[in-house]
Amino acid sequence: MTKTASTQTAPQTVTDELRRWIITQAEAGCRPEDVVAAMVKSGWDEGVALAAMETTLRARLDEVAASREPVPPAVPVPEPNLDGAPPFLSVGGHRVEVLATMHNPRVVVFGGLLSGAECDGLIELARPRLARSETVDNATGGSEVNAARTSDGMFFERGEAPLILRIEQRIAELVLWPLDHGEGLQILRYRPGAEYRPHNDYFDPKHPGTAAVLQRGGQRVGTLVMYLNTPEAGGATTFPDVGLEVAPVKGNAVFFSYERPHAVTRTLHGGAPVLAGEKWVATKWLREGVFT
Ligand code: PD2
Ligand code: ZN
């Protein structure tokens, strides 16, 4: 039994470490009932343990299946100009720090992308329009409320207010991608306990609803998650394939790109549960073509 499974106390949070442990046990040939029994013995509620097993192993099976699928061709993706490894970039007169970079998956963490006043302004504009978040329904391409995403959210129209337009222009200049290739900004509010379970932002070519979604500008090829406040605890943006966690700090942002809609990009990511306080983010998804 590893430290993960033996040190949990209520409320019981299924961490990436626990997911990795479950996969290790299953791949070593442990029977599922023995894995659940070991978790229960170390303090886990049986229902939570069973649900964690089920979702973790289903995701792992999907990953193994994906590794056997044909890999779609690579397409151009947004990318900041980091030639010469600059410590900061000047974007429309605004200084943005380059805090961390990773190449596979392509991830860049920016500091000070938004000012405190810009973060507060986005929250103020979004708050009266929040509703329980929906995700794309894979079957139809429409949207549905999803238990994997327990936040409230809303979308702005592109350029709908001067503040939105200014931020969109900054993003376009930062990652060298045309403004009209971006979807409208999405705002999410997570309350304590809320999370966004690991997912990919690209549309899965296998899903029947994908063709409809691709009509509006093609695939998503990049994501920028901007933190509008600093939660008291929890709420990191996680990349479970590579064990990376980006702390949510007001004004900072994490950018990642995916040159094909496939797990080889290692851009599976999630929003870890918020442990205390609220977490607010603005997400800009970038498409291959003009988003209409
Ligand atoms: O809020 C986050 O950290 C987060 C994590 C994963 C947001 C998104 N995905 C997203 O908006 O796609
Ligand atoms: Zn996402």
- 200 and 60 within one domain: no
Looking at the structure, tell me whether residues 235 and 106 fall in a common domain: yes
Q: Are residues 100 and 54 in the same domain?
A: no
If asked whether residues 40 and 93 sit together in one domain, one would say no
Task: Find the CATH number of the domain harbouring 263.
Answer: 2.60.120.620
Domain boundary among 36, 67, 98: 67
56 and 149 together in one domain = no
Listed range (25-29, 122-126, 132-136) with the worst mean pLDDT: 132-136
- Report how far ligand 2's centroid is from the alpha carbon of 270 (Å): 6
Rounded to the nearest angstrom, the distance between the alpha carbon of 200 and the centre of ligand 2 is: 6
In a domain, 77, yes or no: no
Question: Average pLDDT for residues 30-49, to the nearest whole number?
Answer: 92
Q: What is the pLDDT of residue 6?
A: 42
Please state the three-class secondary structure of 195-247 as a single string: CEEEECCCCCCCCCCHHHHHCCCCCEEEEEEEECCCCCEECCEEECCCCEEEC
In a domain, 210, yes or no: yes
4-23 pLDDT, tens digit each: 444 444 457 788 789 899 99
Q: Is residue 3 part of a domain?
A: no
For 171-189, write each residue's pLDDT tens digit: 999 999 999 999 999 999 9
Confidence of residue 138 (pLDDT cuts 50, 70, 90): low
Kindly state whether residue 121 falls inside one of the protein's structural domains: yes
For residue 7, is it within any domain? no
Q: What is the distance in A from the centroid of ligand 1 to the CA of 118?
A: 19
pLDDT at 4: 42
By residue range, what is the domain housing residue 57?
16-67
- The token pair that represents 259 in the structure block: 């040159």
Per residue in 280-292, pLDDT tens? 999 999 999 999 9
Provide the domain count of the chain. 2
Q: Whose CA is nearest to atom 2 of ligand 1?
A: 271
Q: Is residue 72 part of a domain?
A: no
Residue of 26 and 55 predicted with greater confidence? 26
The answer to the question of residue 6 being in a domain is: no
Torsional sign, CA 109, 115, 121, 124:
positive
